[in-house]
Amino acid sequence: MILDIHLGKEADYTISYNLYDNNVSRTFLQRMAEQENKIVSRTQFYNFGETKQDIEQKLLAISEQLQQLGLIESTSQEDLNDLHENFPRLHEQHTGSTLELLREFNYCIHHLEDISRGFNSKRFLFNCEGDDGIDLPEEAYEMFTPTKEYGKLYMNYPHVGKHFMELFGDLDTTIPDEQIQLTNKMCNTVYCWFGEDKFTNQHDLDALMLSMFMFYRQIEHKLPYKWKDPKLAIGYLPLGELNQDVDIDAIANNKYVHSWSCRWVIGHTKVK
């Protein structure tokens, strides 16, 4: 089972992933094969040469448009922080071009956070439009991992809100209960990791899990599951890994998701 992702305005560069031979990855590929080529954002590429100034200029332009729409009073840091905190609510209230602006605003905020923290977290992701998802297969919960490895393909977070590991990363103990959305759906959304391996060393992983447990104790009254329950869905769901070497510069020069193809056997290809 292979997922080919075609990058660039003319599909100039293709990245291919071998999906794991299990029912979860098989279900994911089948759903992607049936999905129309409609994507929320085709340009969510992080840390492929973008500068802080690039993102700040883009954020200012978006913020000025949101100000004209009356969603913020000014482009001050305080108003931008308030807008980011209220993004989950606003995301549900708006449609069309306003919703697109809000999404782009949110992407820019997270992009700047990456740059300011100095993360080597090269990645790109996309979410498909019009897909409400299906309930995660039960066996998928056991597959979630807080580790990230270069060249692996994961299902991106499919909800609007925060999953447990994001809560932990922000040490967010004051989040409103309704904004906590533990991963419970399989949606047509992918997360392609090209950064450094994270928490693949057992010592680092053990230290991470201990820190997350201590954090869990602070917010367990807000969560529906006990520690070590797989339905906490900590981290991301791995789906496959690269089946070829990748030219990072080629990705940087083609930061646009054109389409994808799904393959099961030779001669059986479905292109989107």
Q: What is the CA radius of gyration of the chain?
A: 19
Which pLDDT score is estimated for 267? 46
CA distance 127 to 187: 8
Query: Which pLDDT band, with edges at 50, 70 and 90, does 264 fall under?
Result: confident
> In this structure, which amino acid lies at residue 118?
G
Which residue did the predictor score with more confidence, 161 or 119?
Answer: 161
Which pLDDT score is estimated for 142? 97
Other C-beta atoms lying within 10 Å of the C-beta of residue 70: 7
Which pLDDT score is estimated for 118? 65
**Closest CA relative to residue 123, chosen from 15, 202, 35, 212:** 15
What are the two backbone dihedrals, phi and then psi, of residue 153, each rounded to the nearest 5 degrees? Answer: -105, 130
CA distance 192 to 242: 10
CA distance 156 to 136: 13
Q: Which two tokens stand for residue 54?
A: 């690039």
Q: Which two tokens stand for residue 56?
A: 């700040």
Q: Look up the CATH architecture of domain 2-48+122-271.
A: Beta Barrel (2.40)
How distant, in Å, are the alpha carbons of 24, 164, 194, 211, 236 from that of 230?
15, 12, 26, 18, 12
Rounded percentage of the chain residues whose pLDDT exceeds 70 = 96
Query: Does the global pTM surpass 0.95?
Result: no
